[in-house]
Amino acid sequence: MTKKTAIVTGITGQDGSYLSELLLQSNYTVIACRRRSSTNNLERVTHLLDDPNFILTEFDLTDPSGVYQTIQKYQPDEFYNLAAQSHVGTSFKQPSTTFEINTVGVTNILEGIRHYSPHTKLYQASTSEMFGRNYSTETDGKRYQNEKTEMLPQSPYGIAKLAAHNMVEIYRSGYNLFACCGILFNHESPRRGENFVTQKIVKWIKDYIASGKSPDFPKLKLGNLAAHRDWGHAKDYVRAMWMMLQQETPKDYVIATGETHSVQEFLDLAFKSVQLNPEDHVEIDPDLFRPAEVEYLCGDPTFANNDLGWNPQVSFEGLIQDMLGS
């Protein structure tokens, strides 16, 4: 296999760490981009730091000159943009920062590729949050979202990602760049950030057990338990990103399991698997409800199944067990 070079942004995050592993195993040189931090946040990639093909580079998406220089210097075969302000709740509190990183930052990359490395294939991390409160309906009444579903985002995060998604489309059609977007539904893993609901639940369970099930242990505070999400495993989803850039032509794909579960179901199953009852430990906190909510997500991955040959390997139950470490 010929050696390729890929720039990956967001390597301190969940997906960036898994994708870096996959690319290194596939004989790539990975230009691993991270923004400066005053504290060490490399724990998800510690095991990669001694690999000579994993080249750590300082890079902030919001700084155009740095983005251009990185692209010009490495002229990579592939560029995976996984960096983002990725928390939907935070996007209501920091809408301008979210837009700066998630939309203007992506425009910086597109401009950099256009001017300095037009052969580079770009993967942009789009999201099911772009569908917001919209869905399509099958004849039997089943609701789903796929590539044809109209997008109606419900958060500054979703709006910023949709603007970036549209920007990618313009650069693809207007400048003939190989640029595509994966419309990924929620995906989790043991490396998921602690302020996303799945990891918040799993972390609480582990900490509670570690406390010796102390009666003084604080309750688990949660917001909307009725929301439905299509949850898959991050390892399956980074494989789909790579597959998209191995195609002859750039296309956007929905990546999802096709199954949906409520937050309540995730909570119940996680607690049940360690013989705990959520009713004894969970408190609903009105402050954790969002100003606008996405109530129902269920992706239809038929196009990715047929065109890429991609299928998820990890079930909902398998995901919970992997996160619990059991």
DSSP per-residue letters across 249-274:
S---EEE--S--EEHHHHHHHHHHTT
DSSP per-residue letters across 19-58:
HHHHHHHTTEEEEEEE---SS---GGGGGGTT-TTEEEEE
Residue nearest to ligand NAP (CB): 13
12 binds ligand NAP (CB under 6 A): yes
Q: Of residues 68-97, which lie at the interface with ligand F7E (CB under 6 A)?
A: 86, 88-89
Q: Running DSSP on this structure, what letter comes out for residue 121?
A: E
- Contact partner at residue 60 from ligand NAP, ligand F7E, none, CB < 5 to 8 Å by partner kind: ligand NAP
Distance of CA 43 to the CA centre of its chain: 18
Q: Are strands 78-81 and 220-222 parallel, antiparallel or unpaired?
A: unpaired
Write the interaction track for ligand F7E spanning residues 100-129; mark x where CB under 6 A is met and - where it is not. Answer: ---------------------------xxx
Write the interaction track for ligand F7E spanning residues 31-70; mark x where CB under 6 A is met and - where it is not. Answer: ----------------------------------------
Q: Is the Cβ of residue 24 or residue 225 nearer to ligand F7E in the bound state?
A: 225
- Contact partner at residue 117 from ligand NAP, ligand F7E, none, CB < 5 to 8 Å by partner kind: none
> Tokens for 137?
């309906």
Dihedral, 208, 212, 218, 219 alpha carbons, nearest 10:
50
The rounded distance, in Å, linking the Cα atoms of 57 and 83 is 14
Which H or E run contains 282? strand 282-284
Q: Cite the active site residues.
A: 127, 129, 157
Interacting residues toward ligand NAP by CB under 6 A:
9-10, 12-16, 35, 37, 41, 59-62, 82-86, 101, 125, 127, 184, 186-187, 193
Interacting residues toward ligand F7E by CB under 6 A:
86, 88-89, 127-129, 185-186, 195-197, 200, 222-224, 227, 229, 263, 288, 290, 293
